[in-house]
Each structure stands twice: as C-alpha cells, then as structure tokens.
C-alpha cells in the first residue's frame, strides 16, 4: 500500500511539474482593470441611491428621482466614456413595451435599458462580450 501511495505521489509530482502555462496579459485590459477601484464603485452606488428608487415602474419623467432619472444619469455617464473613447462606444436606449401581466404590470408599460456598445477592432473576431447590471 505504501508503494502505491509513493508511486501515485511521484507520478502526480512528475506530471504536475511537466506542464508549463504561459499567460500573456493584454496591457490595455490590465490597465482597465487596474482603474476599477472600490472608491469609484462606491461613488456610483451612492449616486444611484440618490434617485430614491429604481423600481421599474417608478417615475420615468422626473430629473431627480425614480427609474427615469437613474437611467438618464447612467446614459450620460456612458456618453462621457464614449467621448473619452473618441466616439467608439455607442450609447443608446433599448426601448420596448412590456405587456400587462395582470399581476405586477397593470397596463402596457414602456421600459428602457441603457446600452453601451463597444465594437471590436478586429473584423475577423466575431466574439460578443456582454456586461450587464440590474436595477435600472
């Protein structure tokens, strides 16, 4: 039994050290990740709290409270990022009408999502990355 355990240990040690993984970090991605900070995230959350509610069926026309004010602020922040990217980031609302369901939604209601679309630079790369945040 001890020879079996010793054999397994030597076998796993040999193959464990025989593999080398080379990781190449994309410097632009690393820089973007380095710019994410606890302070920036806290500032965004505190700003969203000032809208009092971001319930989907809350006020859509106020400039200071409710879902409408919150999503307009988010869109304006994305537009700042777009300007900083030389206009590469495309910012828009995805507007749709949610049908009444007889429970939560009493009548057909217009909903909006904020989209920030950043096209890639390699026409041969057809990958799509989706980042989503809930609450607006």
Q: Per-residue pLDDT tens for 28-77?
A: 888 888 888 899 889 999 999 999 988 888 999 999 999 999 999 999 99
Q: Within a domain: residue 84?
A: yes
Q: Within a domain: residue 89?
A: yes
Residue 67: burial class (beta carbons within 10 Å; 0-12, 13-18, 19+) = buried
| pLDDT computed for residue 121 by the predictor | 87
Q: Within a domain: residue 11?
A: no
| pLDDT computed for residue 12 by the predictor | 56
pLDDT tens digits along 88-109: 999 999 999 999 998 999 999 9
Number of domains, the chain: 1
| pLDDT computed for residue 56 by the predictor | 87
| pLDDT computed for residue 71 by the predictor | 94
Q: Within a domain: residue 54?
A: yes
Q: Within a domain: residue 17?
A: no
Confidence of residue 15 (pLDDT cuts 50, 70, 90): low
Dihedral pair phi/psi, residue 11, rounded to 5°: -60, -50
pLDDT tens digits along 112-123: 999 999 888 899
| pLDDT computed for residue 67 by the predictor | 93
Asked whether the predicted pLDDT for residue 133 surpasses 90, the reply is: no
Q: Within a domain: residue 15?
A: no
Range of the domain at 91: 26-136
Q: Within a domain: residue 19?
A: no
| pLDDT computed for residue 6 by the predictor | 47
The Cα angle at residue 129 between residues 123 and 131, in degrees rounded to 5 = 145
Q: Within a domain: residue 74?
A: yes
Q: In the 8-state DSSP scheme, what is residue 78?
A: H
Asked whether the predicted pLDDT for residue 16 surpasses 60, the reply is: no
């Amino acid at each position: 039994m001890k020879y079996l355990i010793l054999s397994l240990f030597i076998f796993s040690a040999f193959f464990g050290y025989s593999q080398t993984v080379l990781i190449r970090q994309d410097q632009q991605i690393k820089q973007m990740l380095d710019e994410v900070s606890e302070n920036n995230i806290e500032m965004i959350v505190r700003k969203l709290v000032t809208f009092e509610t971001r319930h989907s069926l809350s006020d859509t026309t106020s400039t200071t409270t409710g879902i409408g004010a919150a999503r307009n602020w988010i869109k304006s922040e994305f537009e700042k990022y777009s300007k900083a990217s030389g206009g590469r980031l495309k910012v828009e609302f995805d507007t749709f009408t949610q049908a009444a369901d007889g429970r939560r939604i009493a009548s057909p209601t217009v909903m909006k999502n904020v989209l920030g679309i950043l096209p890639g630079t390699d026409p041969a790369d057809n990958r799509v990355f989706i980042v989503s945040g809930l609450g607006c």
